[in-house]
Structure 1
Amino acid sequence: MSQLTHISASDVSNLMEQELLKLGLSDHDAALISYMLTDTSLEGTDTHGIRLFPTYINEFVGGRANIKPNIHFMHETPVGGIVDADHANGLVASSWAMEQAIAKAKQNWLGMVVVGNSNHFGAAVNFTKMAAQDDLLGICLTNSDALVSIGDGLEAFLGTNPIAFSAPSKTGLFSADLATSQVSFSKIKQMLAANETIPDSWANIEQTSGSKHLKALQPLGGYKGQALGFLVQIMTALLANMPLDHQLSHLYEAPYDEPRKVSHFFLAINPKMFIGLEQFKHNVSLLAAEAKKVGPDVILPGELESKTKLQRLHTGIPIEPWLWDHIA
């Protein structure tokens, strides 16, 4: 299998699902995790797709993530509430939470759910798409282990703390998912491995004994991105009364038998509170069309991901030999 470079989405998803079922996950949870990781890789966001599978397996085996969690509201109102994820896999906890937010938004115009005691949840846009597919606006935030510096500091203090949003339109979904760091952690790791020059505006790099090490990423847009990172932390960790970014253990590092207590925030908004649904969807499509008139180089949120998905549905998902060894 060392020569394998591409495999179909259905084959990858089925292989992961079978491995998760062997660990004792429910049919629903195994299918959900497999589908979301595969779909994320189909869209080209490989760092948050099937490459996470070995780490998620380590979390289940070690006990960091509960195989059969008791996800429940600790406090609930008609428009919101706070959820104890019981250390579930983040994809499982977040799907449950966004479903609750969607149900509340359909009945009471808004649904806001904060989640504590969770784990890494893959790509944030997975959950905002859930809302948009139900003709709602979706917004999602999560805190994460510290990788981003603040001020003139060299050490990491904030997580990459992504923000995602989705809206329905006449022509599909209008979606975006962005970290609050200047570039991704994985990109810097790849550049270090290739011995490429890394701009100071991207990351703080330490050089010792002839080798370079990442100290911290730089925030997106300087102090403005730093403010966004703080916003996400306030809306997640502080509302959930969970650890701050710099107090979280790192996703890819041991111990795998101790909870991480990651926090998330989900918001579903019913546009019919303000405007007719069909008119709103028309307006979103009109906005996209007007933006494309600016020039051929305009790339709308979610456009690259959609193109990559069409391509990979035909060619398969590229998989490195090391990753195939963990899945097959």
Structure 2
Amino acid sequence: MRATADSVRAQILAILTAWGMPRDLAEETATVMLDTDLMGVDSHGIGMLASYEGMRRAGQVKLDARPTVLREGGPVALVDGGAGLGHPAAAFAMRLAVKKAKEVGVGAVAVVNSHHFGAAGWYVRQAAAEGCVALVTSGTKTLAMVPTRGAMPVLGTNPIAFAAPGRRQPPVVLDMATTTAAANKVRAKALRGKPIPEGWVMDGAGNPVTDGDAAVAQVFQKPEGGLSPVGGTPDMASHKGYGLGMMAHILGATLSGASFSPIRNRTQRPEDPDNIGHFMLAIDPTAFRLPGAFEHDLDDMVEVLRATPPADPALPVLIPGDPENAEREARLADGIPIPPALDRQIRDIALRANVGYLLEQA
């Protein structure tokens, strides 16, 4: 089925509030998850409810937690996520970073004691909407990336997102995992019965795994093999992707004192919070240039890139953020695709939460 955006948001909100999440935090989380689905990032939207339900059952996540400032001075701050879902903590941190950027030119806010926060791109888009250049990185829970010359996963997907605002043009938005694909994209493809592209997942001997169910098991259950760093298999050709993942973790987790999963997993009990970390950076261009000058030059740059002769006349040159913007328009018009396996999951979760099934056909 293809569900209306309003019904997807209503379903997420109903389940989160039934789980005990305060209304305002649930509304913000539902907004992030819906926008993620609208942009085509199916791995981080309503499909994450099953994972969050598991965390709730284990007692890992405190759904009523509100983010608080632990330390603050000048352009920087450290935020405690309170072991809650990451969406409210990350949104709070980005708002604080933007506020500081407007005051002193730059704001850098780290988050500790958080959980999965959805798509990193959502937060940089919010900063760009406020006229700021933004960067986001995050730590992760799942060990997924196989390091250069390694046979076992040690790092996570450790996302990086960047956005810069234009005036005539939409913002430039980069949102990427530092693995060839995010771990939950593997799960999303498997839910849809689709094969996994060669090069995403490998077994312990470095052989590609393309069957959806086998790939999910490889990434989430087996101690060896996993996701390749962005750029390809874990050899010297993808060493820069591996280094990029390390950088994302250092900024997104080590800086705040959040966990490094290979170490934390040695002692973490099922009910212990994941202690994920995030990093939010916002820059006000007017700290460097006259108002509007940055946006004018960015628009000029984007227009030059768009004017590049395409290799295929039917496929125009893309700017980072274009595919997500196009998908958003299409899904607002035609609905968000909900494959049968995900639909069954949502029905079961709603039943266990004692709320109605609210998804409606677009």
The TM-score with structure 1 as length reference comes to: 0.89
Q: Is 2:225 aligned against 1:229?
A: no
Give how far 1:202 is off. 3.6
Match of 1:85 in 2: 81
Query: Is the 8 Å Cα contact of residues 180 and 230 (structure 2) preserved in structure 1?
Result: yes
Aligned equivalents of 1:23, 1:140: Cα separation in 2: 28
Structural RMSD (CA): 2.5
- Secondary structure, counterpart of 2:107 in structure 1: strand
- Secondary structure, counterpart of 2:61 in structure 1: coil
Match of 2:235 in 1: none
Moved more, 187-196 or 64-73: 187-196
Aligned equivalents of 2:195, 2:52: Cα separation in 1: 30
Q: Is 2:46 aligned against 1:45?
A: no
Matches within 5 A, 1:1-328: 5-144=1-140, 145-170=142-167, 171-188=169-186, 190=189, 199=198, 201-206=199-204, 214=218, 215-221=225-231, 222-247=238-263, 257-296=271-310, 297-320=316-339, 321-325=343-347, 326-327=349-350, 328=357
Aligned equivalents of 2:23, 2:81: Cα separation in 1: 19
Give how far 1:34 is off. 1.0
Query: Is the 8 Å Cα contact of residues 120 and 262 (structure 1) preserved in structure 2?
Result: yes
Aligned equivalents of 2:190, 2:64: Cα separation in 1: 39
The TM-score with structure 2 as length reference comes to: 0.81
Give how far 1:193 is off. 9.4
1:169 to 1:242, Cα distance in 2 relative to 1, 3 A: same
Give how far 1:30 is off. 1.0
Unaligned runs of 5+ in 2: 206-213, 219-224, 232-237, 311-315, 351-356, 358-362
Q: Work out the number of aligned pairs and report it.
A: 318
Give how far 1:191 is off. 6.9
Aligned equivalents of 2:193, 2:263: Cα separation in 1: 31
Aligned equivalents of 1:107, 1:187: Cα separation in 2: 38
Give how far 1:19 is off. 2.1
The amino acid across from 1:216 in the alignment is G
Give how far 1:184 is off. 3.1
1:153 to 1:35, Cα distance in 2 relative to 1, 3 A: same
- Secondary structure, counterpart of 2:242 in structure 1: helix
Query: Is the 8 Å Cα contact of residues 9 and 316 (structure 1) preserved in structure 2?
Result: yes
1:18 to 1:256, Cα distance in 2 relative to 1, 3 A: farther
Structure 1 or 2: more strand by fraction: 1
Aligned equivalents of 2:53, 2:77: Cα separation in 1: 30
Give how far 1:195 is off. 9.1
Aligned equivalents of 2:192, 2:241: Cα separation in 1: 27
Unaligned runs of 5+ in 1: none
The amino acid across from 1:219 in the alignment is P
Identity %: 27
Deviations 1:50-96 (A, max 9, x none): 11122223333443221221422221111012121110110011011
